[in-house]
Structure 1
Amino acid sequence: MIKFYLRLLILSCSFSLFAQDYFPSNSGVKSDNNSNYTAFTNATIHVSPSEVIKNGTLLIKDGKVVNVGKSVKIPANTTKVDLSGKSIYPSFIDMYTTFGVKKPERGGNGPRYAASRSGFYWNDHIMPEQDVMASFKYDAKDASELHKLGFGAVTTHMPDGIVRGTGALIALNNDADNALRVVDGEVSQHLSFSKSVRSNQSYPSSIMGSMALLRQMYDDAKWYAAGNINTRDLSLEALNENRNLVQIFEAGSRANVLRADKVGDSHNIQYTIVGGGDEYERLDEIKATNATIILPIDFRMAYDVEDPFLASTLSLSDMRAWSQEPHNPRLLAENSVRFALTTHGLKSKKTFKANLMKAIESGLSKEKALEALTTVPAALLGKSNELGTLKIGAYANFLITSGDIFDKKTKLYENWVQGMQHVISNMNIKDIDGEYTFKLAGQDYDLTISGSTSKPKGKLESDNKSYDTKMNYADDWVNFTFKTADSTKTEYIRVAANVANGNTLSGTAIMPNGSEYSFFANKTSSDSDKKDNKSKEEETDDAFMSPITYPNLAYGFLEKPKSETLLFKNATVWTNEAEGILENTDVLIKNGKIAKIGKDLSDRSAKVIDATGKHITAGIIDEHSHIAAASINEGGHNSSAEVTIEDVIDDEDIDIYRNLAGGVTSIQILHGSANPIGGRSAIIKLKWGEAADDYIYDNSPKFIKFALGENVKQSRANRNERFPQSRMGVEQVFIDYFSRAKAYDEAKKSGKPYRKDTEMEVLVEILNGERFISCHSYVQSEINMLMKVAEQFNFRINTFTHILEGYKVANKMKEHGVGGSTFSDWWAYKYEVNDAIPYNAAIMHNAGVTVAINSDDAEMSRRLNQEAAKSVKYGGVSEEEALKFVTLNPAKLLHLDDRVGSLKVGKDADVVLWSDHPLSIYAKAEKTIIEGKTYFDLEKDKQMRAAIQKEKSDLINRMLKAKNKGLKTQPIKKKEKELLHCHSTQSGI
């Protein structure tokens, strides 16, 4: 009783005492370096994810595991720790952090085109020589936060640059010096697509530029290693020295995972890739990379969808991601994709455990989870003998827990690193977490206690009201205070209660007036009880996953389209061939090709479609488009021939589906017009749902974008430091680069060793007639200029695009052999367009130039049939010829007319079934077919719209349920899709 009243006296002296942290005594093992043996007995020991010893002993000495097993001989003078009923696990490893590294500060103002360093690589963003240990400073506070999550070792690096230098493996040992903590000072080399913030060197300015730079860097490193460069380059030396380290590439999304792997494959390098958590969208492609993924588990919260207007702005893909992301680890495991887990990407590391539990609730096996945190990262770092397991000889990095580490109820007591103890929770304190009920002065209360073994927190409720509660727990006594229910007074009730057996609290409550009451609280449930009592409906909600479609957004397919045998009957067929327009004619599609065209056709295997009163044409082809790309311009240099749009195809761009709805089947995605010599094109078929690389034409013709005029001379730029800045300068760029390319080709053909230069390789292809130029153009003087430059170097321009003054030079274009791909009636949107006229296409056509109508615009592209029709009005072009402006003629300009552009037996079955005359504003594409696969169907589109609405409603209801259950939600932020054009500077990184 004396002890009891002493405790009450302390309680009455100061309420602030109850807010103080209580640091319990440890297990009796000192945390300083102990050269004697320590034996942990009677524990369930997880030696590795697949090896578990019941009632085992772990013997450690000098920071290493000496022995482990059921019958371990314990030497004399060994410190013994009885862990009956407890478990031991290997400490976790996070192989992608910036632990102990200060975030670099931004440097420089304005664009820079040359490197700022001498003796290093020509690009500032390539820094393989960077050693993270030069800027490393151990952060004990951050380490303690990681201890609580179970981590004992991390790999850290400088998060700056495209090639970021070496990373170090650090043991999170707060009681040692760096000499012991640094397990390996050079364990990894780090890369990304993002530039250094410390340099303002302009190149690269896009993800395709980063990819091209990396490829060129590897070629240069090979050339340097062969002793062909006399000048010392510290960057290339370091790159070659680091080649045998694990190469960790920060991608950040499944699309960039595939892009990073593409770069690695080009030089036989297998990257370990930091993913984005959306790999589940393309599991087959991710698996095919053979890469190990370092996997963030930054699962998004449900959206706050209570406002119907804001909820209507949410995309289906964002809503789906909320339910799908937690299943990503499970799906990777089921598809045999190896991965390690990381805290990278989390706004707060404290959410790591909750997200990990969410992944396990979503089907990730506990064994795979443990592998991803222990043996997988250890193996990747080449440290399997030292980390990741508790085998003999390994570091004594281990966790002591109250039970299964992946159960929510389990307590983490201690995290030992290199044989040194870090106490998280005192394992000798009774665990009193749970829910209690008690009655006091006629009032019923519900008390919830959590964190009792470290920092106890109490939550008190009565009559649906919550009361502020301050709690302290020590020596089997719980002390807490709470405000009275009287809102007009600031008065407190004080409680001191003894913990008898972990299930009851008994003691005394002192009221504000000093009167005392006996206090008794009985535990009604624990965390495990709540888990057991969870309804099946709640469990189903927790494990719910929206279906994955291809692509994984609205209007995606549950199954990718398959090639069919299709027979269209009684259509008006626009052949674009000598046969012209055929009335009441049948078209048979088989094996992805046009098999027959004629009357009264039949095929027993065919799906018959009545096309009476309807029209069939070849699929529309857009010669100049910027949809379906993650970035358009690489403007860091005045020539970017080394980059290619094929690297940045965006297979999830909704404009692909919209174009299919407009009858478009093929497009050329052109680089923008930021520089005179732009990047290489991607010529694709709009195979909605396929992976990015599967969009590209087989044996695709080689094209590149050139540009003239205001954009390339930077007429509207804020700064004009880069050459050229005049139309004369633009001409000189072409002459200079082709002169260099000619010299490069001569050196290459000489048989002597030469440094591979991708940019020059591409320009040589132009000189040799192996690559075609599509040139952005407006003014007749520049059009004439470029034809003369081409003739000077003995090649021809393939296509002038835009070409709004083409009518002025149509005869010269015909003589040169260049085609014109133009707008139908755009004019006066900038100064150099003032002389544009809507008769341009007709005049060039009548002069014998191959003419196409292009879009250069995501909205116009799905109405190209109507754009073609304008040439009937302006210039009197026939309807047949006008349709060819968007079908056969662009196919000719793209050197694809042997495959597409007309309806001819043997050509690809890229066809459109129209509801009306194809040039009519009333015509709708009812079916758009590519190689016999139906990628757009008007009737199915209606069904998909209804299904999308239903799915969104279902997800909204689930999010409302989640909020009502008390889960955190995030506000809705409206997103605007950027439509890319020639001048767009979106990086795509």
Structure 2
Amino acid sequence: MFGVFLCTFSMQAQEYFPTNDGVKTRNTNYTVFKNARIHVDPQNVIDNGMFAIREGKITAVGKSINVPKNSIVIDLKGKEVYPSFIDLYSEFGISKPKRAENGNGPQYDAGREGYYWNDHIRPDTEAIANFSFDSQEAEKFHKAGFGVVNTHVPDGIIRGTGMLVALTPGVSEGDRILNERSSQYLSFDKSVKSRQSYPTSTMGTMALIRQVYLDAKWYANGNARNKDLALEALNKNKDLVQIFATDNLLNEFRADKVGDEFGIQYVIVGSGMEYQRIDEVKASNATYIVPLKFPDAFAVEDPYLANQLSLEEMREWNQAPVNLRILSENEVPFTLTTHSLDAEKDFKSNLLKAIEYGLAKETALAALTTVPAKTIGQDGKIGVIKEGAWANFLITSGDYFDKKTTLYENWIQGEKKVLSSMDVTDITGNYDLKVDGETYELKLKGEPSSPKAEVKLGETKIESKLSFSDNWMNLLLSSPDTTKTEFIRLVANIPSKTDQFSGKAILPNGNETSFQAVKKTDMKKEKEDEEKEENETSSTIAVTYPNIAYGFRNKPKQENVLFKNATVWTSEDAGVLENTDVLVRNGEIVKVGKELKAGGAKVIDATGKHLTAGIIDEHSHIAASAINEAGHNSSAEVTMEDVVDPTDINIYRNLAGGVTTIQLLHGSANPIGGRSAILKLKWGESAEDMIFEQAPPFIKFALGENVKQSNWSGSRFPQTRMGVEQVFTDYFSRAKAYESTRNDEDFRKDLEMETILEIINGERFVTSHSYIQSEINMLMTVAEKFGFNINTFTHILEGYKVADKMKEHGVGASTFSDWWAYKYEVNDAIPYNAAIMNEVGLTVAINSDDGEMSRRLNQEAAKSVKYGGMSEEDALKMVTINPAKLLHVDDLVGSIKTGKQADLVLWNDHPLSIYAKPEKTMVEGVFYFDIDRDSEMRNDIKKERNELIGQMLKAKNNGVKTQPVTKKEEQRVHCDLLEEVK
């Protein structure tokens, strides 16, 4: 008897459980739906099909199924059924993390005891511990067709676990949770809960993630002496789906790069701009979660404001709607997210817009159902209408992807959410309304459950008020004579769909009569015309590489070229050769001489023109998304290769100035900066393809006012020049000690120490930002103490004072031609500096450190002809072969010599003249700049801008939402620029 009692109690407990609305009884009967057009999945449809559900699951589906006894049968004749949608990137039910209060200064150490050394690494965060069901927010998802979301705490770089939640109305929290540890989330954004400074840049974030992965593996092998709860959590989460949130296209590739290094295939939350680099997107092999958000058109009526609008912004508005179609055509798997959208208002309209621009409906449905289900490991359980799957489905009036279709109900885990009554008669349409001897034009539009009325009598608009409930219509018509306060009141019961209806009319004098409304016979044509007008899409502008002004429609290809009769500045012992030919094949210089034969190569008549090697800028900050990692006084673990921006217009401008190679340097925020990226300026190529692969590795050091934070309110060590010296001594000493532990069983790989060891061991070269003689001497002394040499002093404005010591040390110089007095430590700069160092026998280069000056490095080099009497040939060498020597690539570039890479510039005048212009700039046999093509592109840009402005004006006239034009100032990038990671 006692056992029976327990069993009975257990059964009752399963049928009654707490919900947000109190106690609810579970329905254990079968519910059968019949006569529906069932979209089982995106590829399979059953016409006049049936399916049954019980206790939240689908028990049967087919053309005909057995109907169990006591089943509730619902007739869905004329209706369609779809699987409910799934959103994999959501913050649903999670309170916004609170930002840490500002303290009295920057925070360098972690604030969490027992966790990783960096507060922004939070894999221990669990969505389930922070979750609370939000009924109002859930309803917005319901109305957009969603039944399941994957939610997480949007805080930190490694953010911890997400949870998969069914948006089931009226059940307990536990019943909604499909997977409490569904995935792990990552991002490039820091935690708002901590003020810890590091990282301050995207490259710092990438370096930190790399170090975390290395540390997690080391920790998993049992090498740690102390418990680390963050690393334990990361190791626990490593087999989960890894979702990486990004905010722009370049960061998508950066995330994938880190994943590839550690054998992790991220699911990438994209930007919606994947179409711009679709080949790279496809090569990532990632599944993308794409926000269904498109830029608004701009208000361009004011010609002055329209001129402030960049072509890039205009193109994004025009091209973004084709993104999903391009992804689909290239077989890139993707899902859709409502993130950053008002799901209720914007989701469907944007989805339909994507379909108008070529996205197939089946693909759209897959991106909302089967693809996210498979991605999150719930294949066959959600996103389909199949036996054994959760009973998550939508009931619609017709094709969901039709603008006119009504979403009636959203069932989630077998629980019904009514969004619009299925019993409502659809009375929308255009009618002739006859009442009291007058014929009005009545237009009923909007949702069938809440239509709106527009009424006209002849050309006069009649004020009206419509209410429609339970198929009863009440319509109030004002008098055409606005001086009179008179109304006609119409009332009618409309029990079923019909092309006409009638009812009672009460006239202003109180008399009763009847009215009749007859749908216009040409309504079908009017609907077609309306839909044609609404669906009229703007012609899409072709993508260029990069997708901004002066990008290439088709990437230029390598050519075999013979330059004839040029004045050739070899930058070699051969000097300047008159009336000389240079033959280029397969990206290399194969012959230099007179009367050369073309042998099928393209011939360029260079008579009266000058041919030089491509200019090399030893110190540049163009083509970068970040310059400084300022969180620590050493950032040797970061690399500029991580933040190359191949879309920077300064690449093209530099090519127009004859520059073909640059050293992209870290800034001067700390004594030991980040690793360099040596780039070939291959405009239109990817960041990876711009890397000069044969160049040896470099790193940036810095001395002087910037690193001791003289020009901003920093409190980080060092604060003095003697502190700077101590930083170097400390880190080199640590690196030597680190090297001695490499054979230990519990050895922990440290990316920062590995880089500093490369310096000490002569495997990585140092370019050091410097100004005054005392610090120049100091760094050479410290380097010699640890057995290595400084490779290059850059800036080096007091180099003329210590040139003899520099020569003895073996260091080169890369300097400005005539910059001085722009801060205290350059007060002793002189324009004779380069010439004096050159006379002493140093390898001297002229650099820019400036995106504007870099376009005129030939003129900067020419200044030393005046200041110091340097020969013209030696002056040109300071921007060609000398920087090549400083970068240890002089066997490949920097001069015109057989066997070298064909990085060449054809000038219309003497290359040191202020009147000289590059007509053609070649990198490895490819013309990335051509002055004639440039002229054509300028005309094309004007035409394209006018076309896009016309499209935007038309869009605004059609009622499309617009945004104001805001002028974006171009940022001038120098050594001290700080990027702040959010």
Name the TM-score, length of structure 2 as normaliser.
0.95
Correspondence for 1:20: none
Task: Compute the displacement of 1:31 (Å).
Answer: 10
1:910 aligned to 2:906? no
Which digits, 9 at most, give the CA deviation of each residue in 1:738-786, with x for residues without a partner?
Answer: 00011111222x3644101000000010011010111111111111100
Q: Displacement of 1:505 after TM fit?
A: 4.3
Amino acid in structure 2 at the alignment position of 1:727: R
Call closer, same or farther: CA 1:60–1:547 in 2, change over 3 Å. same
Aligned 8 A contact 2:188 2:981 in 1: no
Alignment partner, residue 209 of structure 1 = 204
Relative to structure 1, the CA distance from residue 632 to residue 481 in structure 2 (aligned partners, 3 Å threshold; closer, same or farther) is: farther
Deviations 1:455-495 (A, max 9, x none): 33334467777666543212322223355555566665543
Within 5 Å, which residues of 2 pair with 1:265-276? Answer: 265-276=260-271
Match of 2:873 in 1: 880
Mapping for residues 475-494 of structure 1, pairs under 5 Å: 475-481=470-476, 483-485=478-480, 493-494=488-489
Determine if contact 1:433/1:526 at 8 Å carries over to the other structure.
no
Q: Does 1:714 align with 2:709?
A: yes
- Counterpart code for 2:518: N
What is the CA distance between 1:449 and its match in structure 2?
3.0
2:952 paired residue number? 959
Residue 737 of structure 2 corresponds to which residue in structure 1? Answer: 743
Q: 1:707 to 1:470 in 2, by over 3 A?
A: farther
What secondary structure sits across from 2:740 in the alignment?
Answer: helix
1:90 matched to 2:86 = no
Match of 1:14 in 2: none
CA distance in 2, matches of 1:120, 1:421: 44
Aligned residues of 1:47 and 1:89 also touching (Cα < 8 A): yes
- What secondary structure sits across from 2:927 in the alignment? strand
Identify the range of structure 1 (402-411 vs 123-132) with the bigger mean alpha-carbon deviation. 402-411
Instruction: Write the distance in 1 (CA, Å) between the matches of 2:801 and 2:531.
Output: 77
Distance 1:148 1:529 in 2: 30
Which stretch has the larger CA shift, 89-98 or 496-505?
Answer: 496-505
* Correspondence for 2:381: 386
Instruction: Report the alpha carbon displacement of residue 532 of structure 1 after superposing the two structures with TM.
Output: 2.7
Distance 1:312 1:462 in 2: 45
Partner residue of 1:849? 842
* Equivalent residues in 2 for 1:582-621, closer than 5 Å: 582-621=577-616
Which piece of structure 1 moves more, 363-372 or 971-980? 971-980
Give the conservation status (yes or no) of the 8 Å contact 1:327–1:363.
Answer: yes
Which residue is 1:122 aligned to? 117
- For the residue of structure 2 that corresponds to 1:738, the secondary structure is helix
Tell me, in whole angstroms, the C-alpha distance in 2 between the residues paired with 1:465 and 1:904: 84
Q: Which secondary structure state, in structure 2, belongs to the residue aligned with residue 945 of structure 1?
A: helix
**Contact 2:34/2:77 (<8 A) preserved:** yes
Q: CA deviation at 1:553?
A: 0.8
Counterpart residue number, 2:823: 830
Deviation for aligned residue 1:934: 0.4
**Does the 8 A contact of 1:633 with 1:987 survive in 2?**
no
CA–CA distance in structure 2, aligned partners of residues 465 and 870 of structure 1 = 78
In 2, the alpha carbon distance for the partners of 1:464 and 1:239 equals 70
State how far apart, in whole Å, the 2-side matches of 1:834 and 1:39 are. Answer: 88
Query: Could you tell me which residue of structure 2 aligns to residue 81 of structure 1?
Result: 74
The letter for the 2-side match of 1:828 is A
Indicate how the Cα distance of structure 1 residues 524 and 631 shifts in structure 2: closer, same or farther if over 3 A, else same.
farther
SS of equivalent to 1:665: strand
**Structure 2: distance between partners of 1:524 and 1:744:** 86
> SS of 1:119's equivalent?
coil
Matches of 2:523 and 2:290, distance apart in 1: 29
Q: State the alpha-carbon separation in 1 of the partners of residues 151 and 472 from structure 2.
A: 43
Residue of structure 2 in register with 1:811 after alignment: 804
Distance 1:175 1:851 in 2: 76
Whole-angstrom distance in 2 between the partners of 1:786 and 1:899: 30
Letter of the structure 1 residue corresponding to residue 736 of structure 2: K
> Is residue 435–residue 525 contact of structure 1 (8 Å, CA) maintained in 2?
no
Q: CA deviation at 1:595?
A: 1.3
Tell me, yes or no, if the aligned pair for 1:633 and 1:671 is still in contact at 8 Å.
Answer: yes
**Consecutive unaligned residues in structure 1, runs of 5 or more:** 1-29
Q: 1:229 to 1:524 in 2, by over 3 A?
A: farther
Q: Are 1:643 and 2:638 matched, yes or no?
A: yes
Say which SS state the counterpart of residue 48 (structure 1) adopts: coil
Query: Kindly tell me: are residues 464 and 380 of structure 1, through their superposed partners in 2, closer, same or farther at Cα, counting changes over 3 Å?
Result: farther
Moved more, 793-802 or 961-970: 961-970
Aligned twin of 1:366: 361
Amino acid at match of 2:110: A
The 1-side partners of 2:917 and 2:439 are apart by: 69
Which position in structure 1 is the counterpart of 2:894? 901
| C-alpha displacement of 1:542 | 1.0
The change in CA–CA distance for 1:481 and 1:815 in structure 2 (over 3 A counts) is: farther
Q: Is the 8 A contact 1:887 1:902 kept in 2?
A: yes
Cα 1:907–1:941 shift into 2, 3 Å: same
Alpha-carbon separation, structure 2, partners of 1:469 and 1:31: 44
**RMSD after superposition:** 2.0
Please tell me whether the aligned partners of residues 253 and 279 of structure 1 are also in contact (alpha carbons under 8 angstroms): no
Partner of 1:11: none
Q: Does 2:713 match 1:731?
A: no
Give distance in 2, aligned partners of 1:488 and 1:738: 92
Say if 2:225 is the partner of 1:230: yes
Q: Distance between the aligned counterparts of 2:434 and 2:876, measured in 1?
A: 85
Match of 1:773 among 766, 776, 799: 766
Task: Please list the CA deviations of residues 891-929 of structure 1 after superposition, one character each: whole Å capped at 9, or x if unmatched.
Answer: 111111011000001100000000100011101110000
Aligned to 1:152: 147
Q: What residue identity is the alignment partner of 2:528?
A: D
Residue 332 (structure 1) aligns with = 327
Q: CA deviation at 1:580?
A: 0.4
Report the CA distance shift for 1:412/1:815 in structure 2 as closer, same or farther (over 3 A): same
Is the Cα–Cα contact under 8 Å of residues 254 and 286 in structure 1 kept in the other structure?
Answer: no
Whether contact under 8 Å (2:424, 2:449) holds in the other structure is no
**Alignment-derived partner of residue 795 in structure 1:** 788
Distance in 2 (CA, whole Å) between partners of 1:485 and 1:944 is: 58
Tell me if structure 2 keeps the 8 A contact 1:621–1:664. yes
TM-score, normalised relative to structure 1? 0.94
Classify 1:650/1:493 alpha carbon distance in 2 versus 1 (closer, same or farther; 3 Å).
Answer: farther
CA distance in 1, matches of 2:462, 2:615: 68
In 2: Cα distance, 1:123 partner to 1:60 partner: 49
Letter in 1 for 2:503: G
| SS of aligned partner of 1:533 | helix
Mark the CA change 1:497 to 1:576 in structure 2 (over 3 Å): closer, same or farther. same
Q: CA separation of 1:534/1:903 partners in 2, compared to 1, >3 Å: closer, same or farther?
A: farther
User: C-alpha separation between the residues in 2 aligned to 1:611 and 1:141?
Assistant: 72
Match of 2:860 in 1: 867
C-alpha change, 1:908 and 1:74, in structure 2 (3 Å) is same
Give the whole-Å Cα distance in 1 for the aligned partners of 2:617 and 2:458: 68
The number of equivalent residue pairs is 957
Of the candidates 933, 942, 962, which is equivalent to residue 940 of structure 1? 933
Secondary structure of the residue aligned to 2:417 is coil
Residue 692 of structure 2 corresponds to residue 697 of structure 1: yes
Against the structure 1 CA distance between its residues 938 and 535, is the aligned structure 2 distance closer, same or farther, given a 3 Å change threshold? farther
Tell me how far apart the structure 2 counterparts of residues 526 and 420 of structure 1 sit (CA, whole Å): 42
Q: C-alpha distance in 2, partners of 1:222/1:530?
A: 66
Q: Secondary structure at the match of 1:93?
A: strand
Q: Secondary structure at the match of 2:873?
A: helix
The answer to whether structure 1 residue 246 and structure 2 residue 241 are counterparts is yes
**2:627 pairs with one of 623, 632, 641:** 632
Question: Does 1:921 find its partner at 2:914?
Answer: yes
Q: Structure 1 532/782 Cα, relative in aligned 2: closer, same or farther at 3 Å?
A: same
**Contiguous gaps of at least 5 residues in structure 2:** 1-22
Matches of 1:648 and 1:489, distance apart in 2:
71
Change (3 A) 1:476 1:619: same
Structure 2: how far apart are the matches of 1:192 and 1:527? 52
